[in-house]
Amino acid sequence: MPISVTRLDVMSKAEAKALFASCCGASRWVTKMVARRPFGTRGALLKVADLVWETMEESDWREAFAHHPRIGEQTGAVPQTERGAAFSAGEQAGMDSAGENLRKELAEVNREYEERFGFIYIVCAAGRSAEELLEFARRRMDNDPYTELMTAMLEQGKITRIRLEKLLQ
């Protein structure tokens, strides 16, 4: 159920924390977003969200990544909120039509990716087919660890923004 910025600005800290946590699993990001209220407008909230994300560090990024299920799966290493799980399911809708072989290939790439980089393959999956997600993962396997961490951080930022926009619709 969408909420207004006005409602978000005045709700309890616990309620706001739960809503922000459904958009991003980085606890420091959530705490900073709750503390930055009131936002007043949708545009201000989104701008603050981006600015706060830019202040995060590698440990925050990795914490956020851990809240996502692997592409093709439904649960992450750290449980998501009910709303977060619903967001993930919608974002991975492109996997719904994936056949058995494609699912196996993605599972293998997910495993190889995690071994290489030390975190799950993070990609803004919204609107993308299973084939595209597999192709992106394979291409990103050629990245050096730093470049890939930065790529994953940017993808997480996109995911968070999309989730916030859905929350506010």
Which tens digits make up the pLDDT trace of 85-127?
A: 667 666 665 566 767 888 899 889 999 999 999 999 999 988 8
Helix axes 100-117, 130-140, angle to 10 degrees: 30
> Is residue 1 pLDDT above 80, yes or no?
no
Q: Which helix (H) or strand (E) holds 150?
A: helix 145-168
> Structural domains in the chain?
5-168 (1.10.3330.10)
Q: Sorting pLDDT into bands at 50, 70 and 90, what band is 169?
A: confident
Mean pLDDT of 63-67: 93
Q: Which residues of 62-74 are buried (b: 16+ CB within 10 A; e: fewer)?
A: bbbbebbbbbbbe
**Cα 50 from Cα 131, distance rounded (Å):** 29
Mean pLDDT of 61-71: 90
Percent of the chain with pLDDT over 70: 85
> Is residue 6 pLDDT above 70, yes or no?
yes
Residue 125 has a pLDDT of 87
Residue 68 has a pLDDT of 86
- CB neighbours of residue 104 within 10 Å: 12
**Token pair in block for residue 130:** 């299973």
Mean of all residue pLDDT scores within the chain:
89
- Provide the whole-model pTM: 0.87
